[in-house]
Amino acid sequence: MAVTDVDLPRFARHVDYILLATVLGLVAYGAAIVHLATSKDPISTPTYYVRQQLIFACAGVVVMAAIALVDYERYRRWQWLLYGFAVFTIAAVFVLGPVTRGSRRWIDLGIFPFQPSELAIVLLTVALAAFLVDRLDSPAPRRVTLTVLILTAPPALMVFLQPDLGTATALVMVGLATLFFFGTRWTHFAVILGAFAAVVVLVLAVMPALGMHVVKSYQLDRLTVFLNPAHDTSAAGYNINESLIAIGSGGLSGRGSQATQTTLQFLPEHHTDFIFAVVGERWGFMGAGALIVLYALLVWRALRITAISRDMFGSVIAGTIATVFLYEVLVNVGMTLGIMPVTGIPLPFVSYGGAAMVTNLMLVGLLQSIHVRARDAIAVRDRVL
């Protein structure tokens, strides 16, 4: 099924409608909670954020459909172009990006701000998957693993230096996930884990003792405060404590319009990083549970596509996407519950933000492209047999 002669009726038959309904459900859920979280904010109109979120979602759906219509195998031949574009645009942020709240993450294109680090998640997923599949029969698997780590390092390091720790860790997760679904030996991961532990000791203990501080003090506070959030409730631990108060007060069914943590502006970043706390306070355990069920469906469908893909390339891409979604949900929900470090990772399809919304819908477009071609291949095989 080529991009130039797509059989639309056949394409429509092979779309994963459970995945599509799940994603649209998450988008609708997110729009509703963004509106509730921001309707009392001191802005010009109570519907500003939800209107912007819906505009982002509509643009993302269009991009998702365009990506789904293209056979994902076509992206394989563009692997180095995609990788180069990701690295180049991230590097351009340091030159062209304005400083906002102490960080450079965006390039102002006039019509809209462009965040290269979010797009890099999509591009790196495809580029690394293509690189690995092209070396499926390589006689030097250790060299392949090392090369993937080397390719992952520049974009992840540059994003970390912006600084954007959350997206940097997501890019690292992309590299590790592609290796895992490619079938890399467990011994390679053991070495990676050991090397990671050594780097952590070097960066957090040895280098500071020598007067060299790679990690900024506020980043270190955000990473460690979850171990004892009550230690500094007025500064580093403030966000987590207010989040825990919001979630705890929601109970089983939530406080509804009586929710005060958001409406009285106690909860910071209530429409972005800590929006799950708004869900917990407004709709309680039942509302939060419904959201988790939607995410479970999303990851399940992605893993199912991993299993039925017609080739290794599709399997690695789909498995990596499933991992990225699972990682982002676990980290975001975990940090609002005070059991994970605060890294600034948004909740997929729910947190306010155009770059994350469009990027996540692009990932869903890739999943649909893989699913449609897999089902089409199965249908052709069944007709032949």
pLDDT digits (tens, 9 = 90+) for 255-309: 888 877 877 778 888 888 999 999 999 999 999 999 999 999 999 999 999 999 9
Domain positions in the chain: 3-384
Band of residue 106 on the pLDDT scale cut at 50, 70, 90 = confident
pLDDT digits (tens, 9 = 90+) for 51-86: 999 999 999 999 999 999 999 999 999 999 999 999
Contact indicator for 191, 176 with CB cutoff of 8 Å: no
Query: Residue 108's closest CA among 122, 123, 93?
Result: 93
| Buried/exposed 99-124: b ≥16 CB within 10 Å, e otherwise | eeeeebbbbeeeeeebbbbbbbbbbb
Measured CA to CA, the distance from residue 255 to residue 198 in angstroms comes to 46
Contact indicator for 250, 283 with CB cutoff of 8 Å: yes
Band of residue 385 on the pLDDT scale cut at 50, 70, 90 = low
Q: With 80 as the cut, is the pLDDT of residue 354 above it?
A: yes
Q: According to DSSP H, which parts of the chain are helical?
A: 8-14, 17-38, 48-69, 73-76, 79-96, 116-133, 141-160, 165-182, 186-201, 207-209, 217-224, 238-250, 275-308, 312-336, 354-384
Read off the amino acid at residue 70: V
